[in-house]
Every structure is written in C-alpha cells, then in structure tokens.
Structure 1
Amino acid sequence: VGIDDWSWRRATSYGTIIVDLERRSVIDILDDRSVESAATWLRDHPCVEIVSRDRCGLYAQATREGAPQARQVADRFHLVQNLRSAIEEQMSLSGRATGRAILSEDAIVDAATHRRRARLAHRQSRQEIFDILHALRQQGLSYSEIARRTGYERRSVTKWLKFEAPPDRRRAALNSTSPWSFEAFLAQCWKDGNRCGRHLFHYVKQRGYTGSFANLERLLGAWRRGERGQGDAVPPVASKLEPVRDPDTGHAISPVVAAARCIKPRGLLTDWQARKVDALKHGSEAFAEMRRLAMRFNGILRGRRSAPLDTWIDDAIDSELIPIMRFARVLRRDIDAVNSAIELPWSNGQTEG
C-alpha cells in the first residue's frame, strides 16, 4: 500500500489516504493524520507486506507500530526533492543579497555584514531588475522570452513591466510560515536547554507553524552563532559559495534556479540551462561538489542498486556542506526504507494524484 496525507481543506484540515499500489485504487481515507489512526488501520490489515510513504516520520512510526512485518519504502520523488531543498539551502547561505540581487562583489560583502547596507542592496537590486526587464522589453522581446532569458516566472515579468518605477519592498507581517511568530515559545525552549532543531520543529508545528524546517534552522542558527560570539556571521562553510552570474544576462543566479539545475542530468538540460550549470560549476566550489553528489545520487536511484549508497552518504557527510550533511544523516537514519526505494518498483506517486 501507499500512505500519505490527504487534504480535506487545503492547509487547514488533513486526513490520510491509503492506496492499493498493485490495483491502483484507493482503499480507504482516514479522518485524521496521526500515528494512532494509521497504526490502527495497519493493525487491522495484517496482510500488508509493503508500505510506501514519504519522508515524514509520522507514517514511518505508524508502520513500525501497526505493521512491523511490512517493508517500508521511502518515496523516490521525495528523496530527490529533499536533496534539491538541501542544495537550495546551501546556495542560500551566502545571504539573500547573492540570490537575485545584481550587486558588485564589494556590495555583496557589505550586505552580508551590515543590515543597513543589506536593505540598500535590495533597493539597488530592484532598480537594476527593473532596468533590465524594461530594456529587454524595449528590444521587442515577448514576456515569455524575457522570462526565459532572466530566469523569472512569466507572471513576475508581467508584474514588473507594469511598474513605472521599481516597487519599494515593505516588511511583511509575521504569519504562521515565519518562525519569528513563535519566537517567545522558542526562546523559552532554548533557555530550558531544548535546542534540537527537529524537536523544536515538531513542537512549533503542533502550535500552528506552517513554514519549513530550513526557515526554522536559519533562526536557530543565528542563536547558535550568537552564543559563540559570532553575532549574525555566516558560518565558515558559506565561504565556499560565491555569487555566480548568468552568462546570458549577467544576473546573479538564484538559489532556487541553481538547485533545480543541480539535480537535472546534463542530457535533459537545454543549451541555456547547461550554460548556467557550467557557470555555477566554474564559479562555486560548493555547487560543483553538490552537482557531483547529485548526479551520483540520481545514478544510484536509476541503477536500482543500493550497495553504493553507504559510500555516497559518507562522501556527502565529508563534504562539510551543512545542509547536505544533514540530508545524508537523515538518509542513514532511514536507511532500510531508502534502500527499499532504490531496489523496489513501488513509490508514492499514486497517493499524490
């Protein structure tokens, strides 16, 4: 069977969907998303031999409790997406000014060091983005072609070209996606000695947090660096990353785009995407290392042989790239399910659609 969460009402109410992967049909939909209900269902169906699930610990625990005889299979799509998220996080460690900002090297360093200069850098970035998009439009290029050349979504291009001047960025109100909304609770946990990111992530999720673990880790990382007397300093590993320009536009390549290109095999890249990858490999030691690891990981998944995985995990941990190390350690904790994902044909795709 495949098991996953099911949205009764988007982002507010969830149940659990259970699919017969052999017959490609829904078996049951549970009212809630909990270890107890999923484990009870599995206990009532002792014939289950395979459980395909995502990386969420909830269904892993439910399977251990309700169907200890079953072989757990991690979903391959989520494995690749988790790696992509780790790459994106690593590419973001240089600071937001090196993402979409078009800045000089000196300006980037200043922006990472001084908050006031960072705000100025973002304003300068918006001016340059505005100028580039309007210049391309004046050359007669279509919105779609501008989006292709710059890496922006077509929607964003359309919005920017409607502006007569660069929009001023306003600080967004805190909401449930921001860990700062839970600062008081997190600070108390921190004071009490509970500093494990995964534990704190679980606690704030119970209190309504809808953001990512990576966002929470950025907040906790700043607190850890503060205790070491480094203030808001970027961790030393981030020095491996440098802002890399798109060879076609001169625009700094964003972490999102870099991560998406990093996991895509060379044969599937368009010519302009391949030029981006080559620029990133040449300009960023960390990207080049992550690209090698990503291609090896894809090869392991496609080859359906789990034997090379242990060596891959060791190499990923030795990379000293914190998000990649974290991803590798999580794989090791879930090694049986990951090995099954590599060796068996089952995946959770049917539960997604």
Structure 2
Amino acid sequence: LRVRRFVCSEDSCPRKTFAEQVPGLTRRFGRRTERLRSALVSVGLALAGRAGARLTDALGASVSRNTLLRLIASLPDPPIAVPRVVGVDEYAQRRGRIYGTVLVDVETRRPIDLLPDREADTLAAWLAERPGVEIVCRDRAPFFAEGATRGAPQALQVADRWHLWHNLGEAAEKCVYRHRGCLRPLPAPPDDEPEEETEPATSSPWPTGHRFAERTRTKHATIHALLAAGHSKRSVARQLGMTLNTILRFSRATTPEEMFTGQWQSRPTRLDAYKPYLDQRWQEGCTNAWKLWEEIKDQGYPRGYSTVRDYVNRTLRGKPQPVGPRPPSARVVTRWILTHPDALPEGDRVQLKAVLANCPELAALTEHVRSFAHMLTQLHGHQLPAWIDTATATPDLPSLRRFAQHLERDLDAVIAGLTQPWNSGVVEGHVNRIKMLKRQMFGRASFELLRKRVLLA
C-alpha cells in the first residue's frame, strides 16, 4: 500500500504535512481501524450504550457506552428514495406527554423518517417536500388526516382496517353493556305443585353478620337463658359483669331487635335514593361494589365508594343470590359477536343464540357487525354508505349510531380502507420496535439518538 504525503513549504501555514487517506481503510484522526469501527457501530445500533459496552468488553474491544453513542450519532442518514406508499402513525417518546410521528415505506417495509411531534403542520411540510407520494395509510386521527390533506392533496388516503374493526368492537361492547339486563336467561316457569310455607323473615334494621347485631343477639340469648334457669337478675348481672339496668333492659326485650336503637337506624343518607337500583342490580348478578358505585355515580350519586361498599357488605351480602348460572359479561358477549360464527365453540354458540333470542336489539347489533365484517374481509367498500344509513336508523343502539356517524366525517378514507389492499400493519410493527429501542436507551433516549437507531438498525 502506497500512501502519498504532501508537505507545505509556506511558513505561515499551520499544517506542515498532509497524508493521503484511503477510502474504506483509513480515516483522518482515526483511533481505530475501519473494521473495528464498523463492528462497534453494529454493536451500538443493536444494543445501544450500556449493554453494547458490556458486549465489547466480552469481545476484547472495550469501549465506553458514551463512545458507542457518539459513533451512532456520527453516522449519516441513509439515502432513501421518495416512497409511493407511506404509512403514518404516532409513537410515544414519553407516554401521555410527548408523542412523535413515524413514517414507513409500506412497499419496502422500512422506516423512512421520524418526526419530533404529531402536529398536522409538521406532517404536511414533510409530505410537501416529497410530491411523489401516491398513497397515505393512516388511522383516523384528525391531525394525520389534516396533515395528509394539506401536504399531499394528490395522494389517496387509506384508513387502516384494524383500527376500524377495533372502534366497531368498542361501540359494540357499549351497546351490549347498555342491554346487560338481557344477558341473564329468563326464569323457569313455576311448578304447579304448591310450595311449602316458609316462615316470614324478620325485618331487622341491622342485618345478619353485623358485629353489633351479633353481639347484641348473643347477650340477649344468654341473659334470657340464665333467667329461664332460675337465676335472679342481680345474679345474672354479677356473672356477666353487667349493670343491673342493662340486665333489666335485656329482660324486658322479647326479641333482640328491640335493642337496636340509635342514630344509625334513623339517619337518612344520600344513598337511600339509589338503594332500589342497587338491590335490583344485586339480584341481576352484579356483586362487585366498585362496579355498582360507578353505575350510580353516572346517575348522579355525589358521594364516594366507601358508602356503597359498606351498604353492600352489611345489607346485600346477606340477601340470597339468584338461583341459576352466572350470566356472561358484556365483554364476553361482545367477543362472541365479533367472532366468526364458524370459529365459535359449540357451547359459546348456544349461549349467544340464547342471548340474541332474549334481546332483539343485540340480534340487530350482531347483524350489523357481521355485515361490516363481510365488507372488511372481502374489500367491498362500495357497500359502506348503505351500511351507514342502516346503522344510523337503529334507535336502540346509540353507540353504533355514533360510530356510523363518525365514519361519515372521514368517508373517503374509510371507503378506500375497505377497498384497497394497503394497511398500516407494518407501521404498527415499527411502533412496537420503537418501544423496545426506548427501553434499551432508558435515560439517554433523546430524539436524535432514537431516530438514528430506528433508521439505521
């Protein structure tokens, strides 16, 4: 290998000698060979700082984590041609606070660029610099729709089918929850045989299981047993360690419920207006105190959870549960509706048939969901306007009606999503990959470093 060295004869020049560089072999002011540098760059792109430094130490080429990060930051951006089909989605730099935008070439399945925010102006400026974009795959976020319309008016916008199905599933679950009373099977008709007479339950202001009520009942039974055995009242007071006045009051009470007096028994509470609803929901099978509190809170109950919890524990826990199997939850019924009928197990199919026979509104919801699924799987987007008209005309399914009305705001993109073969699946995969890269660079995941790793790794 011959390398030329040049010498400057000018006395005022600070450089006296210059060495010729060989591309791919040497680098000016280089402290390591190009092969070692490329190996360290590969380790840094794969593992980032600390993990990469531990691997280089095991390989016998120890460098610090900061050196690996500097090597990654010094890399130039890869040259990428203007894509024809672009996928757009958001990613979280700090979840709930800072979000960015990732752009992916859907045809080559490679990331193109990362934007520091998810504003419409930023996306519009990026697309305006690349007039060759013909198709934009996105979700139905308004800032992406506005940015794509302003930056690439010539491009066809395609709404992602997975997001459409996910939004339909959320609307369907709300509809099922609204008709949750229909999920319990109808009670069996009573037998003709006369039922045995049962003793009427005594209405006690303090239910069974209350600690004060149980203690009072125990004292009442003990005192009356001693008196019936022939002991005097003063003798009972000495044996039980009570005052004579207490023994007299217990002896005059024929039942322990006569002793249940005090402010707790007569003081009205704000929960009284909602107790009939809580009793009804308890009989329907809802035994979760938190869920009951959330339901009456939506109806205007102004107090906290603890009052409802105490009422459930003291009063409702002692009431008998409805006899029969536990009804399916709204989420389970929604899963049955969203699943293809041929893929449902026989038991689930029978239960779904019973639920739909008991509720015509849920039967209509099932028909709407299955017709939308047929459009989505067979790419029959031209049927969407008729489906929207039918779903909007359904009065008893407000969540489905709102979903259909929301589709009209982005109708062209939704029809294209139900017609074109393009989708944002590859973009979602890169969003998950960005999450993994962020975890590797915890504490050092600046936007510039993250962008380098996403584009070059």
TM-score range with shorter-chain normalisation? 0.5 to 0.7
Alpha-carbon distance change, 9 to 101 in structure 1, aligned in 2, over 3 angstroms: farther
How does the TM-score come out when normalised to structure 2?
Answer: 0.46
Specify the alignment match of 1:313 in structure 2.
Answer: 388
Shift in alpha-carbon separation, 1:311–1:120, aligned structure 2, 3 A: same
Alignment of 1:32-181 (within 5 A): 32-94=117-179, 98=181, 115-120=274-279, 169=290
SS at match of 1:308: helix
Question: Which of 400, 408, 411 is the matching residue for 1:324?
Answer: 400
Q: Which whole-Å CA distance do the structure 2 matches of 1:25 and 1:114 have between them?
A: 60
Quickly say closer, same or farther: Cα 1:27–1:12, change in 2 above 3 A. Answer: same
Match of 2:451 in 1: none
Q: Kindly tell me: are residues 103 and 290 of structure 1, through their superposed partners in 2, closer, same or farther at Cα, counting changes over 3 Å?
A: closer
Q: What amino acid is the match of 1:38?
A: L
**Where does residue 92 of structure 2 map in the other structure?**
7
CA pair 259-114 structure 1, distance change in 2 beyond 3 A: farther
Figure out how many residues of one structure are paired with residues of the other and give that number. 236
Q: Counterpart in 1 of 2:42? A: none
Tell me which residue corresponds to 1:229: none
The answer to whether the 8 Å contact 1:262/1:287 transfers is no
Coordinate RMSD, CA, aligned: 3.3
Q: What secondary structure, in the 3-state scheme, does the structure 1 residue paired with 2:382 have?
A: coil
Partner of 2:427: 351
| 1:297 lines up with 2:375 in the alignment | no
Between the two proteins, what is the percent identity of the paired residues? 31
Q: Could you say if the C-alpha distance between residues 169 and 308 of structure 1 is closer, same or farther in structure 2, counting changes exceeding 3 Å?
A: closer
Query: 1:296 deviation in Å?
Result: 0.8
Report the Cα distance in structure 2 between the residues aligned to 1:277 and 1:89, rounded to whole angstroms: 17
Q: CA deviation at 1:100?
A: 9.1
Question: Where does structure 2 lack aligned partners over 5 or more consecutive residues?
Answer: 1-85, 188-271, 301-323, 430-457
Amino acid at match of 2:407: L
The residue type paired with residue 102 of structure 2 is: I
Task: Report deviation, 1:12.
Answer: 3.2
Deviation at 1:169, TM superposition (A): 4.0
Tell me how far 1:125 sits from its aligned partner: 7.4
Please tell me whether the aligned partners of residues 182 and 355 of structure 2 are also in contact (alpha carbons under 8 angstroms). no
Once the two structures are TM-superposed, the CA of residue 316 in structure 1 deviates from its matched residue by 0.8
Q: Deviations over 1:9-52 (max 9, x none)?
A: 23332111111100111111111121121222111222111111
C-alpha spacing 1:4/1:123, structure 2 compared with 1 (3 Å): same
Normalised to the residue count of structure 1, the TM-score between the two structures is 0.59
CA distance in 2, matches of 1:103, 1:299: 32
Q: Specify which structure has the higher proportion of helix.
A: 1
In 1, distance between residues paired with 2:349 and 2:136?
A: 38
CA shift at 1:103, angstroms? 12
**Structure 1 pair 35/301, CA: closer, same or farther in 2 (3 Å)?**
same
Q: Tell me the CA shift for residue 121 of structure 1.
A: 5.5
Maintained 8 Å contact 1:99/1:253: no
Q: Does 1:281 align with 2:440?
A: no
Return the alpha-carbon distance in structure 1 between the equivalents of residues 186 and 347 of structure 2.
22
Cα offset for 1:92?
2.1
Whether the aligned pair in 2 keeps the contact of 1:102 and 1:125 (CA below 8 Å) is no
Residue 237 of structure 1 corresponds to: none
Matched, 1:270 2:270: no
Q: Which has the larger radius of gyration?
A: 2
Q: What SS class does the counterpart of residue 45 from structure 1 fall into?
A: coil
In 2, Cα distance between the equivalents of 1:29 and 1:327? Answer: 31
Post-superposition shift, 1:171? 9.5
Match of 1:343, SS state, is coil
Kindly provide the CA deviation profile for residues 284-310 of structure 1, in whole angstroms up to 9, marking residues without a partner as x.
111100111111111111222222222
| Structure-to-structure mapping, 1:219-230, within 5 angstroms | none
Gaps (5+ residues) in structure 1? 105-112, 130-166, 173-177, 179-214, 224-248
CA distance in 2, matches of 1:262, 1:30: 39
